[in-house]
Amino acid sequence: MPDRFNVWATRHLPGRALERLASAPDVDLDIWSGPGAPPAGELMARAPDLDGLLCTLVDRIDAPWFDAAAKLRVLSSYSVGLDHVDLLAAAAHGIPVGHTPGVLVETTADLAFALLLAGARRLPEGERLVRAGEWGTWEPDLLLGHDVHGATLGLVGLGAIGQAVARRAQGFGMRVLGWTRSGRTVPGVEAASFGDLLDSADFVSLHVALTGETRGLIDAAALARMKPGAFLINTARGGLVDESALADALDAGHLAGAALDVFAQEPLPADHRLLRTRGVTVAPHVGSATVATRARMADLAVDNLLAGLRSEPLPQQAPPAG
Ligand code: DGY
């Protein structure tokens, strides 16, 4: 094992974790100073010298990168999602991959519920109206939305975040349905088939990882199966949804709305069709973005990285296939 490890962090991170990493006696840390994320060429150029990489979800870590990273001992991602990492290539090279589950569960569930409420009650439209000086007077039919209490929520995925959203929904008096590929059951959540969930839910919220199997899960057929007037909420990954089919379903009036924190292409281009589609509420991928949670994620990412450098078990190591 080398005396000192060469580590690159592709971003400054909130909190004090990178200071802790920099002060580790066996670490030489370099931090990309930006602006933004490093370009792909920079990532590749650095690969051969690194013992450890601390990356974010916008860095594409593919098979050629692992081939080039001949000295690498560990990859630590500042994210729970790992769809930006070729996990099979990591496994083939024997590289442990760390990620940050657990610490962002409640915060992400908060945002999913905030989007659900904002979409159902048309808050972004109301805000725009008031700011534009277009609020004439109280009107009997101004910005009529949809009740959340008493409605049915369908959770696609019942991992930690899905379960945390279920708890919030129960507090709002919602009926909660849940579907998982594994058939897992959760107390207080009615197990449903994927199709039955789409048929019955007034709000469908996505909480599965983006993998080869889940990409495009919410396609035109799934959207057509959703209850007329239903809402789609996505705080997981944009690639789960066929966005053009979603815009079609909204334009056709089949769905009442979609509240989205994540998109197939991020940042969402300003001229993207979804931004011109009625009923769409958007946020810029901020599900885990609170001061405390982003600091906890940084701490866990650094703990994973240090463990991997020192050939210790990672506190949160991704399974090889994700
Ligand atoms: C993740 O961690 O994967 C989220 O998308 C951002 O926190």
Name the pLDDT band for 110 (thresholds 50, 70, 90): very high
pLDDT value at 309 more than 80: yes
User: Which residue is closest in CA terms to ligand 1's atom 3?
Assistant: 81
Q: How far apart are CA 207 and CA 161, in angstroms?
A: 7
Domain ranges of the chain: 5-103+291-309, 105-282
Q: Counting atoms of ligand 1 from 1, which one is nearest the CA of 78?
A: 2
Q: Can you say whether the dihedral through the CA atoms of 125, 126, 132, 136 is positive or negative?
A: positive
What average pLDDT does this structure show over 82-86? Answer: 98
14 lines ligand 1 (CB under 6 A): no
Q: Are 246 and 232 in contact (CB under 8 A)?
A: yes
Q: Are 295 and 18 in contact (CB under 8 A)?
A: no
Residue of 122, 285, 294, 296 marked catalytic: 285
Taking each helix axis as running N to C, give the angle between helix 123-131 and helix 105-120, from 0 to 180 degrees, rounded to the nearest 10: 70
Residue of 11, 46, 168, 237 marked catalytic: 237
Name the pLDDT band for 321 (thresholds 50, 70, 90): low
β-sheet bridge partners, residue 189: 186
Mean pLDDT of the chain: 97
Q: How far apart are CA 309 and CA 22, in angstroms?
A: 14
108 lines ligand 1 (CB under 6 A): no
pTM: 0.97
Could you tell which of 80, 237, 286, 304 is best to mutate to test the pocket of ligand 1, judged by most ligand atoms within 8 Å of the CB?
80
* 5-103+291-309 matches 105-282 in fold: yes
CA angle 63, 65, 70 (to 5 degrees): 105
Q: Just give the CATH number of 105-282.
A: 3.40.50.720
Please tell me the CATH superfamily of domain 5-103+291-309, with its number. NAD(P)-binding Rossmann-like Domain (3.40.50.720)
User: Which residue is closest in CA terms to ligand 1's atom 2?
Assistant: 79
Residue type, 181: R
